[in-house]
A and B are shown apart, each in its own frame.
Chain A
């Protein structure tokens, strides 16, 4: 447990010593404000809810989360510090979890800093705060899922740009598989069962139901299994492909 904490601490100092964390947080806050109020029609809806806020998160995360996570392993590989880290008395798992948690904390911090928008809806009306909390939980889990995918692609290469692009593409697939315009198109020639099966792989499907306030264990399980699967693959890559 302790090595995980030590590595998380080191990673966090790494994020805040470079502009990565600040740039991520500021841009996330600016964009989420812009989309919620200008594009999402927060005021025009006349509803005290954060639906217009959360609806953009899958798209915002698509670019911002890989930007946070792309350095996770590729940087270690490029600088050769991977050799240092893996010859310390830590298991690869401890290193993987420590790094993942640090990046997830950066995402959580950015998400937490959107609290003024929650204050705003509470000032303007009487929203269902349970639904809002569920939305935050869903968003946090979704950020973790994207991040674990980025961890996996980052472990594959020493080039951060490659890690970024591959994880954006993989995440995009996870969005589009359940994105209504795409699923509507698919129903035209595939059986509804198949379309549903594909959509079940999508973050959209699961995020939307959590965001509506329905915390179904299957949705939580979906996000956790994406994280576990991706981190497990990361472990396999890190261990087999060490000397690259």
Chain B
């Protein structure tokens, strides 16, 4: 549905986006991550046809956004950053205006407005003017505008920004639901959102894509991924922390052991080989039963997205150790 090829944007000497290439198919929700000023919004603005690209192309459902802007824009719904809307209109008036610009009229228009109002929980404020609304309602009004014509492609620039936790949850549920039948790109700063909603994520830094994969793949790039966390029940184990540690370190599968807490004793054990966490877990539980340690917790770390994010987008300040806590 969405094909972006080598999209570039420069503002004078400043390169905002330096050649971005990706694809989003129907049924995919693509999370767009990156630090502030990385070029997320600029990329979205080029895809939606608000600003012309300096180079490269964006093709929406077969239509190039520069050559056939009207056809391409018809397929798209767009929620710009900060969710702007006309303050002097009522919610119903604003959504009616959006529906009319999308070519809907009469009963089709009424149906579309009703549907969007219901999906975004706007019934209570339908006849209130936008300027009197709280931020959450304003945000949802603009969101309703983007889905009013049930578009095949949705571009959402920080759709959950400024919402309270309940509203965030509602919007995420909505995005996940719509993601089954649409191609969706959304940008966010909130990493758990990516895990909750996206089928794929792209991390962009200083105008270039630095990572592209499913949330699980990205998490696997975390240095912690595959490490085993081991917690032993209260009481001092025989020989104290040091003894336990050295016994674990003597296992052949173990690369490094970090003590996270002394009481109850919690350790993080890193495997010598990649993707060997199952093997390592087995070795650890064997050792524990031999030494009669009481295990209360033993699990493999999935890796953490925020760590991956930090490591990828801040290569200069990357810390050497495996544990960043």
Contact = CB atoms under 8 A, between A and B. Distances in A.
Nearest to A15: B88
A89 interface: yes
Given A83-B80, A242-B51, A243-B50, A88 B86 contact: no
Interface stretch (A6-14, A43-51, A146-154): A6-14
B88 A88 contact: no
Interface in B20-52: 45, 48-51
Contacts of B97: 6, 9-10
B50 A13 contact: no
B231 to A, nearest CB: 50
Given A89-B103, A243-B45, A81 B78 contact: no
Contacts of B103: 2, 89
Contacts of A79: 84, 86-87
A80 interface: yes
Contacts of B85: 81, 84
Interface residues of B, number: 31
A158 to B, nearest CB: 13
B129 A17 contact: yes
B228 to A, nearest CB: 49
Contacts of A213: none
Size class of the A contact interface (CB-based, 8 Å): 20 to 34
B49 A86 contact: yes
A37 to B, nearest CB: 35
Interface in A105-139: none
B145 interface: yes
A237 to B, nearest CB: 14
Given A13-B89, A17-B129, A242-B50, A88 B98 contact: yes
A89 B50 CA distance: 11
Given A6-B97, A6-B100, A86 B88 contact: no
Nearest to B77: A87
A56 to B, nearest CB: 31
B76 A87 contact: yes
B15 to A, nearest CB: 15
B74 interface: yes
A18 B89 CA distance: 10
A3 interface: yes
Contacts of B70: 89-91
Nearest to A83: B80
A206 B69 CA distance: 40
B278 interface: no
A24 B208 CA distance: 51
B82 interface: yes
B168 interface: no
B102 interface: yes
A89 B71 CA distance: 7
Interface string A64-92: 00000000000000011101101111110
Contacts of A14: 86, 88-89
Given A13-B89, A242-B50, A243-B45, A87 B80 contact: yes
Contacts of A18: 88
Contacts of A6: 97, 100-101
Interface in B65-123: 69-71, 73-74, 76, 78, 80-82, 84-89, 93, 97-98, 100-103
Q: Which of B48, B101, B145: most chain A CB closer than 10 A?
A: B101
A219 B239 CA distance: 104
Contact of A89 (B45, B73, B145): B73
B73 A80 contact: no
Contact of B86 (A10, A242, A243): A10
Interface string B290-320: 0000000000000000000000000000000
Contacts of A3: 101
A17 B97 CA distance: 15
B88 A17 contact: yes
A14 to B, nearest CB: 5
Interface string A1-41: 01100110110011001100000000000000000000000
Contact of B89 (A10, A80, A243): A10
B89 A17 contact: yes
Nearest to B85: A81
A240 B72 CA distance: 20
Q: Which of A79, A90, A243: most chain B CB closer than 10 A?
A: A243
24 contacts: A2-B103, A6-B100, A9-B97, A10-B86, A10-B89, A13-B88, A17-B89, A17-B129, A79-B86, A79-B87, A80-B82, A81-B86, A83-B80, A84-B84, A87-B73, A87-B78, A87-B80, A88-B73, A88-B102, A89-B71, A89-B101, A90-B70, A91-B69, A242-B50
Given A10-B86, A87-B48, 18 more contacts: A10-B89, A10-B97, A13-B88, A14-B88, A80-B80, A80-B81, A81-B84, A83-B45, A84-B145, A87-B80, A89-B71, A89-B103, A90-B70, A90-B101, A91-B69, A242-B51, A243-B45, A243-B51
Closest 9 CB pairs of A and B: A80-B84, A17-B88, A89-B73, A6-B100, A83-B80, A87-B48, A88-B101, A89-B74, A81-B84
